[in-house]
Amino acid sequence: MALQASKNLTSSIFQSKNTIWKGPNHLLRRCTSTEWSNLTERPKKKVTDMPPMSEPVRGLPKAIYANFREENQHTKVTIMPNGLRVASENRFGEFCTVGVVIDSGSRYEVAYPSGISHFLEKLAFNSTKHYPDRDEIINKLEKHGGICDSQASRDTFIYAASAYTTGLNDVIQLLAEATLRPQITPEEVDGAKQAIHFELETLHMRPEQETILMDMIHAAAYRDNTLGLPKLCPSKNLDKIDREMLFLYLSQHYTPQRMVVAGVGVEHERLVEAVQKYFVDSKPLWEMEQLFGKKNISGVDKSVAQYTGGIEQEECDIPQFASAGLPVLSHIMIGLEGCSHQDSDFIAMCVLNMMMGGGGSFSAGGPGKGMYTRLYTNVLNRYHWMYSATAYNHAYNDTGLFCIHASAPPNYVRDMVEVIVKELVNMASSIGDQELRRAKTQLQSMLLMNLESRPVMFEDIGRQVLATAHRKRPEYFIKEIEKITKDDIVQVAKRLLMSQPSVAARGDLRKMPSLEYIQAGLIDTEGKMPSGRKLSLWR
């Protein structure tokens, strides 16, 4: 009974619903699909004053996208009326790197107390004729989002700055002031002395010995000439260098013919215009004022580097890394005469350097970090007492130096020397196809990745134009690297082994073999050094 009543109620409800939907005079009726869509579109409420994302923002300039253009891949070079060279290459972006590369450095200090370049590096971007206060230079750079730096090497001095391209004119003015019109006040000279003194003390307190050993190996390789002169100012020369001597050096070495103004990410015409205004039309400070007395000016040293070979060693205590658990280490560096960057063997020498590779025993990573190079597979992976072994290739305008730096506990010094000598001799032995391919690929990738950085590209342009008056494209070096064969590597290795060794050593050297023993090992076809030990039946 109840079930039947429920069915009747449901049926009456459905009939009433159909009547309501069908009745034209009723409020409710069935809607079409168009009417439903109109009902869903309600007026949008504005919640922000920002324009909608579906429309372009008004007032913004049209976007310019990077593209490959041949004219942007070419280094333009202009020689100014006074002999100054201007080189640049445009790059996409709002930032630029510009600077001055000068044919100056510690190798030209033979007529001066060693350390002039070290002083000039500390004095860079201080007060100038146009900017009496150093803070004015910093404020001007910060206005254009810029930074500045200077770097002294054995054969080149660099002043550089990076900033927005819109501030190019101001940046060139700052570079010209820092290079040609520095004040170098007595107070600034005293500050530079204190900074150098502190730096020298810090270097001798640090466990890392590379900086000191590099000075020592060059002193051994080029005894008392050019590249053998110290890059770091000796402590005994701190009080010998004064304002008058610095200006005398600047007047001889900071001349237009010895300078290149280089830029990356700038329009060449704008760069030339700014250089004409601040480097050519405005004179250096030493031509406007009498800054030094009448002395016997010897001029610029034009000596060609003379490789001599030899040994430099210092018995001392090497500081330890704090709470690192490492033992006290002794450091040695063995070098051979290489080739200049203009030599036909230069590319092969670079490939050989990559093939030797090396690093520290705690380095981590894959083949890209050199874990498959010879100094890893043949040295660090085999001798647990070797803490580092790294190959270096220094190339200059007239010579080069190829060397290996290694470190180990003092009681393993002789064994360490024997291992490194053996590896140097084995460079001229058979070379595998895979290790050659890996070294070439690694060198090519390193070249291209480094040139992605504007400062690195700036330095490359400046150094090449300074040395040869033009710049070779990266494509040239990629092709030259690809041409290198196993025979080329063996040939340059034999060339290296024909020279006298240069040795630098520092630390506890009681078990350090003599230079004669090292020479004998390099002559031996297997790299074996004379034992030098007395024959004992009980051994």
Question: Would you list the DSSP string of 369-435?
Answer: GTTTSHIIIIIITT-TT--EEEEEEEE-SS-EEEEEEEEE-GGGHHHHHHHHHHHHHHTTS---HHH
What gap in Å lies between CA 71 and CA 240, rounded to an integer? 50
| CATH class as words, domain 72-289 | alpha beta
Are the C-beta atoms of 533 and 517 separated by less than 8 Å? no
Listed range (116-130, 368-382, 416-430) with the worst mean pLDDT: 368-382
Residue 26 has pLDDT above 50, yes or no: no
More confident residue, 203 or 321: 203
Are the C-beta atoms of 222 and 106 separated by less than 8 Å? no
Residue 158 has pLDDT above 70, yes or no: yes
Residue 195 has pLDDT above 80, yes or no: yes
pLDDT of residue 534: 41
Q: For residue 100, what is the enclosing H or E element?
A: strand 95-102
Residue 311 has pLDDT above 80, yes or no: yes
Output the CA–CA distances (angstroms, integers) from residue 67 to 76, 96, 221, in the order listed. Answer: 19, 18, 48
Residue 137's CB: how many other CB atoms inside 10 A? 21
* Angle at alpha carbon of residue 437, lines to 432 and 442, rounded to 5°: 130
Q: To 10 degrees, what angle do helices 486-497 and 413-426 make?
A: 130
pLDDT of residue 535: 32
pLDDT of residue 52: 79
pLDDT of residue 508: 96
Are the C-beta atoms of 496 and 336 separated by less than 8 Å? yes
Q: For residue 333, what is the enclosing H or E element?
A: strand 330-337
- Asked, colleague to colleague, whether 72-289 and 310-523 share their fold, the answer is yes
What gap in Å lies between CA 6 and CA 24, rounded to an integer? 30
pLDDT of residue 20: 44
Are the C-beta atoms of 196 and 238 separated by less than 8 Å? yes
Kindly state the average pLDDT of the residues 295-306: 83
pLDDT band at 43 (very low <50, low <70, confident <90, very high): low
Average pLDDT taken over every residue of the chain: 88
Residue 484 has pLDDT above 50, yes or no: yes
pLDDT band at 160 (very low <50, low <70, confident <90, very high): very high
- In the block, tokens 């923002």 appear at 57
Amino acid at 334: I
The proportion of the chain whose per-residue pLDDT surpasses 90, expressed as a percent, equals: 76
What gap in Å lies between CA 363 and CA 139, rounded to an integer? 41
pLDDT of residue 372: 87
Q: What is the pLDDT of residues 237-251, one digit of tens each?
A: 999 999 999 999 999
- In the block, tokens 């000075």 appear at 215
Q: What is this structure's pTM?
A: 0.85
* Angle at alpha carbon of residue 394, lines to 389 and 399, rounded to 5°: 135
pLDDT band at 87 (very low <50, low <70, confident <90, very high): very high
Listed range (100-114, 313-327, 415-429, 503-517) with the worst mean pLDDT: 313-327
pLDDT band at 322 (very low <50, low <70, confident <90, very high): low
pLDDT of residue 36: 46
The third-level CATH classification (topology) of the domain covering 310-523 is Cytochrome Bc1 Complex; Chain A, domain 1 (3.30.830)
Listed range (88-92, 141-145, 282-286, 454-458) with the worst mean pLDDT: 88-92
Measured in degrees and rounded to the nearest 5, phi and psi for residue 368 equal -65, -20
pLDDT of residue 24: 47
What gap in Å lies between CA 424 and CA 404, rounded to an integer? 9
Listed range (432-436, 465-469, 528-532) with the worst mean pLDDT: 528-532
Q: Where are the domains of the chain?
A: 72-289, 310-523
